[in-house]
Amino acid sequence: METEPAEDFTNIESIFVRHRNVLMVRGHFPGVYTDYYLHLMQHGLKNPEPLDTMLKDLLAALTLHLVARPWAETIAWTVNLRAPRVNLFVTGSSEQEQVTGRCFTEDIREPDRNLFYTQTTVHGTEPSLSSIEVGSNDPLQWIEALYEKSEQRPGRAFRLPDENFVLLAAQPDFDEEWLNGLDAEAVAEIDQYEKTKLLETRQFRFHCGCNLKRILPVLGAWRDDPEKLFESDAEITIQCPRCAAKYRVTRDMI
pLDDT of residue 91: 98
pTM: 0.91
Q: How far is CA 234 from CA 44, 213, 218, 226, 237, in A?
A: 21, 19, 19, 10, 11
Spatial contact of 196 and 15, defined as CB atoms under 8 Å apart: yes
Question: Which helix (H) or strand (E) element contains residue 77?
Answer: strand 73-81
Q: Taking Cα atoms as reference points, which of 122, 120, 151, 133 lies closest to residue 79?
A: 133
pLDDT of residue 6: 40
Architecture of domain 6-206: 3-Layer(bab) Sandwich (3.55)
pLDDT of residue 4: 43
Residue 19 φ/ψ region, left for φ over 0, alpha for ψ in the -120 to 50 degree band, beta for the rest: left
Q: For the chain, give every domain's residue range.
A: 6-206, 212-253
Spatial contact of 228 and 205, defined as CB atoms under 8 Å apart: no
Residue-by-residue pLDDT tens, the chain, 254 positions: 344 434 478 999 999 999 999 999 999 999 999 999 999 999 999 999 999 999 999 999 999 999 999 999 999 999 999 989 999 999 999 999 999 999 999 888 888 899 999 999 998 889 999 999 998 899 999 999 999 999 989 999 999 999 999 999 999 999 999 999 999 999 999 999 999 999 999 999 999 999 888 888 877 777 777 777 777 777 888 899 999 999 988 877 77
Q: Three-state SS string across 80-138, please?
A: EECCCCEEEEEEEECCCCEEEEEEECCCCCCCCCCEEEEEEEECCCCCEEEEEECCCCC
Other C-beta atoms lying within 10 Å of the C-beta of residue 40: 17
